Structure 1
Amino acid sequence: MTPSDQIRAQIAAEGKPVLLGFSRGKDSLASWLAMREAGIAVVPYHLYLIPGLRFVEESLAFYEDFFGTKILNLPHPSLYRWLNAFVFQPPERCSIIEAAQFPEPTYQELAEEIRDDLDLPGAWNADGVRAADSPNRRMAMVTHGPLKEQTRRVSIVWDWRIADVRAALDRHACPLPPEYEWFGRSFDGLDFRFLDKIRRHAPEDYQRILDWFPLADLEVFRRELRP
């Protein structure tokens, strides 16, 4: 497979902006930094799981200032999926959610919408997937490769190890978002790993989650009552 530094050089030579799915996690930050070092214009977009969480909004504002680039902020497909599946919803909300008929766009459909909206036809859509991150990701990379021409998807640092990610962050003095101190990664779900720490460190944001998913408290209570 083509080394990622060669992929970045090839894409830089095209002279066109590249979309970046920006989760605020270490790998997406490393991907942004790697592309910036290669001279690639990055168009970042973030997909929020819960609207209006302060710790998320504040870190997005920080990275907009750090990189000097506006970050497009859109609903994550999981938000629609959770609502449509009545995740942590009380019975009285179910008929309202069902009537709303929320769409469930795929990641590829979202990327196409962004390309159309920003007039970037055919723009590469970069992610921070790394083969060394897990056996499943390594197998997927071997099977499908880091460049997927049909969907215009590219794993821009696919061959980086965690040491490379840390080196890039150190080289640019780029900090991780605050939730890395809470649960060691960026916010990524409604399970106890995330909810309990948000409840303790950001109670207003925890209440915001309960505004959207009122029965999420049960996930915390279930774990606390476990013998």
Structure 2
Amino acid sequence: MSGLDKINHPRGDALIAEYKERYGDKTLIAFSRGKDSIATAIALRDKIEMIPFYYDDIPGLQFVDESLDYYERTLFGRKILRMPHPTFYKQLTDGLFQPMRRAEILGAAPIPRINHADVVKMVKKQEGIEGDILSATGIRALDNAIRFMSIRKHGPIRPSAGNWAPIWHWSKKELLDNIEASGISLPADYTFLPRSLDGWSYLYLIPLREHYPQDYARIIEWMPLAEAEIHRYEINQRLTA
């Protein structure tokens, strides 16, 4: 037993109908290009108007742009908004992987500090949306115990958090089956990264250097000392060999 029978919240079309009754016929969707957000878009397709936006970790990465273009054509039928990732600005002002002199300049520069609520405001302004609207996410109750308890306690529609979870009741098998049945492909980086892009550890940098050297070079332009992360890994490998 998965335990989902203990959660008496609306699901599927009933959940979408409840959302539309409360917030209208549009929803934002924070589209990470990962399997959870792809499945969420598939579940909502043809049932509600989606306004997808993507948090850009570093602007202009080819493998990201290629996949976003693919999902614009095959999944959304519209432009996916590219929005600045709050973490990207924070990494710059914190001097992550920056030489000393450059870190000093970035630290003194008027780089804005933004959060996810600020990004949502920018999306709404760009789309001319007034009033309340939530972001659809791929959170599922069976992901882990914390999410299970959160969904059970707060439900799949969470105005205080600004989001809702259309596929909260799906198992991982249901998620993968729905993606396969849709004919929509996972992004190319799923074939060589441990998961969709999530930071700048050696787990991502080494495969990117091999498969997308031009994107790796762009990352190094923004964060020159990221190469030190690879060197650290290589040294540790030699020491433990």
Q: TM class by shorter-chain length?
A: over 0.9
- Counterpart in 2 of 1:157? 167
2:176 maps to what in 1? 166
**Cα distance change, pair 168–194 in 1 and its aligned pair in 2 (3 A):** same
| 1:43-62 alignment runs, 5 A limit | 43-62=51-70
* Offset at residue 15 of structure 1 (A): 4.6
- Deviates further, 203-212 or 110-119: 110-119
Amino acid at match of 1:116: K
Q: Which residue, out of 40, 65, 85, partners 2:73?
A: 65
What CA RMSD, in Å, does the superposition of the two structures yield over aligned residues? 1.6
Residue in structure 2 matching 1:40, options 33, 36, 48: 48
5+ long unaligned stretches in structure 2: 1-7
Matched residues in 2 for 1:136 and 1:190: separation? 26
Q: State which drifts further: 161-170 or 151-160.
A: 151-160
Q: CA deviation at 1:164?
A: 1.4
After TM superposition, the score normalised by the length of structure 1 is 0.93
Q: Who is 1:29 aligned against? A: 38
Which structure has the larger Rg over C-alpha atoms? 2
Indicate the residue corresponding to 2:207 in structure 1. 197
Q: Take 2:88 and 2:162, find their aligned partners in 1: how far apart are those partners?
A: 25
Counterpart of 1:187 (choices 194, 197, 222) is 197
Please report how far the alpha carbon of residue 28 of structure 1 lies from its aligned counterpart in structure 2 after TM superposition.
0.3
CA distance in 1, matches of 2:115, 2:10: 28
Give the equivalent residue in structure 2 for 1:8: 16
Choose the corresponding residue for 1:93, options 74, 96, 102.
102
Contact 1:20–1:43 (Cα < 8 Å) also in 2: yes
Question: Is residue 4–residue 159 contact of structure 1 (8 Å, CA) maintained in 2?
Answer: yes
Note the C-alpha offset of 1:134.
2.1
Q: Is the 8 A contact 1:27 1:129 kept in 2?
A: yes
Partner secondary structure for residue 66 of structure 2: helix
Aligned counterparts of 2:45 and 2:234: Cα–Cα separation in 1: 45
Aligned residue pair count: 226
Matches within 5 A, 1:73-222: 73-121=82-130, 122-222=132-232
2:39 maps to a residue whose letter is: A
The whole-number CA distance in structure 2 between the counterparts of 1:140 and 1:82 is 30
Whether the 8 Å contact between 2:28 and 2:52 is mirrored in structure 1 is yes
| Counterpart code for 1:185 | R
- 8 Å Cα contact 1:129-1:158 kept in structure 2: yes
Matched, 1:224 2:234: yes
Please identify, of 83-92 and 147-156, the stretch whose mean Cα deviation from structure 2 is larger.
Answer: 147-156
Contact 1:191 1:219 in 2 (8 A): yes
Over residues 167-188 of structure 1, what are the superposed CA-to-partner deviations in whole Å (9 max), with x where a residue is unaligned?
2111210100011111242111
What residue ranges of structure 1 are gaps of 5+ in the alignment?
none
> Are 2:86 and 2:116, in contact at CA under 8 Å, matched by a contact in 1?
yes
Q: Alignment partner of 1:95: what SS?
A: helix
